[in-house]
Amino acid sequence: MKSKAYIRNIVFFILMLLSIPYYVHSSQLVTGEITSAIILQERIHLTVGDKALTNLGSKDSVIKGDIFTVTARKDVYKEKPIGKCAVTSVDAKSSICEIISSNWEIPRGSNVSLPAIYFSNEKLYPAIYKILSKSVDPFMPYDKLKISIYDIYDSQNNVTKFSENVKQEIKDVFVQKKRVKLVEPRAIQKDFLIYPEDIRNSYGLRTEVMETLAVDVFIIGSYAIENENIAFTFYKFDKYFNDEKISFQVPVGSFDVASIQDVIRPYKPVPKKEYLPCTVALKEFHYMPPKDEKRSIINHEAGRDVYKAIDLNKTNFNIISPVDFVFKLDNQSINFAGKTETPVLLTKGTHNLFASFRRGYFFNSKEPKLYVSDKHVDKEAILSIEKDSSIYIEVMLNPSFEGDNIEFKIYDVTEKKSQLLKTIIKTEAAKSIEFFKD
pLDDT for the residue 345: 82
Question: For residue range 162-217, what is the model confidence (pLDDT) as tens digits?
Answer: 999 999 999 999 999 999 999 998 876 767 789 999 999 888 888 888 888 889 99
Q: By CB neighbour count within 10 A (0-12 exposed, 13-18 middle, 19+ buried), where does 100 fall?
A: middle
Instruction: Count other Cβ atoms within 10 Å, centred on residue 372.
Output: 12
The average pLDDT across 326-335 equals 88
DSSP string over 327-346? EEETTEEPP-TT-SEEEEEE
CA distance 219 to 339: 29
pLDDT, residue 187, reads: 76
* 403-425 tens-digit pLDDT: 899 999 998 887 644 555 555 54
pLDDT value for 422: 53
pLDDT band at 438 (very low <50, low <70, confident <90, very high): low
**In the predicted model, is pLDDT for residue 341 greater than 80?**
yes
Per residue in 225-271, pLDDT (tens digit) is: 999 999 999 999 999 999 999 999 999 988 998 999 999 999 999 88
The segment with the largest mean pLDDT, out of 75-84, 153-162, 339-348, 415-424, is 153-162
Q: Is residue 429 scored above 50 in pLDDT?
A: no
Distance spanning both ends of the chain, measured CA to CA: 96
**Strand segments (E) across 163-266:** 180-182, 217-226, 229-238, 244-251, 263-265
* AA identity, residue 437: K
Average pLDDT taken over every residue of the chain: 87
**∠85-89-93 over CA atoms, to 5°?**
95
Cα 95 to Cα 56: distance, rounded to the nearest angstrom: 6
Distance between CA 316 and CA 318 in Å, rounded? 7
Q: Above 50 in pLDDT, residue 21? A: no
Pairing of strands 431-437, 371-385: parallel
User: What's the pLDDT score for residue 16?
Assistant: 46
CA dihedral sign of residues 173, 175, 181, 187: positive
Q: Which of 15-24, 62-71, 248-257, 335-344 has the lowest mean pLDDT?
A: 15-24
Cα–Cα distance list, 388 to 9, 341, 348, 435 (Å): 79, 22, 8, 19
81 has pLDDT over 60: yes
In this prediction, residue 428 carries a pLDDT of 45
pLDDT-above-70 percentage for the chain: 87
pTM: 0.68
Q: How many CB atoms lie within 10 A of CB 424?
A: 12
For residue 234, with 0-12 CB atoms within 10 Å meaning exposed, 13-18 middle and 19 or more buried, which class applies? buried
What are the structural domains, with CATH classification, of the chain? 29-115 (2.40.10), 125-270 (3.40.50.10610), 276-437 (no CATH)
